[in-house]
Amino acid sequence: MTDEHEISRDLVRQFPRKYSRIAPVLMDLAFDHMLARYWDEYHGDTLEAFTQRAYEELAQTRERPEKLSKMIPVMRQQNWLQAYESRAGLNDAIMGVGRRFSKPELFVGADKVVKQMDTDIEIWIPTLKSLFGPCIHN
């Protein structure tokens, strides 16, 4: 989902001020979590089958950034894409992204804030399904 969509902007504004700088990143991660959690409602393949195919395609893509090339084996070994399905996987992703930021301290406590916003995010699931479901369902 685009950061420019009204739903995203509304949800980003609901983050505490302390997290306003990283709120769009946290929303992207939270939407990835929700997509993985409700995967069967969006796609005909299982999440496991989809993620394995995604890892294969990434590995076979010749032109890609060097950083991505180094990350693919770790992504696959730790199954990052499927890990988004669980709260622990989402929290790991939040902390992992935080470590790559110039100010990782901005992410301290962000996992708890995202969890508190679950209900706000879940309220939008039917709208998201109507907007994007036809585009991504296989």
pLDDT digits (tens, 9 = 90+) for 96-121: 999 999 999 999 999 999 998 888 77
pLDDT digits (tens, 9 = 90+) for 7-35: 778 888 889 999 999 999 998 899 889 88
Q: Which has the closest alpha carbon to 79: 114, 111, 36, 38?
A: 36
Predicted TM-score (pTM) of this structure: 0.82
**Percent of the chain with pLDDT strictly greater than 70:** 90
- The whole-number pLDDT of residue 78 equals 93
For 8, phi then psi, to 5°, come to -60, -45
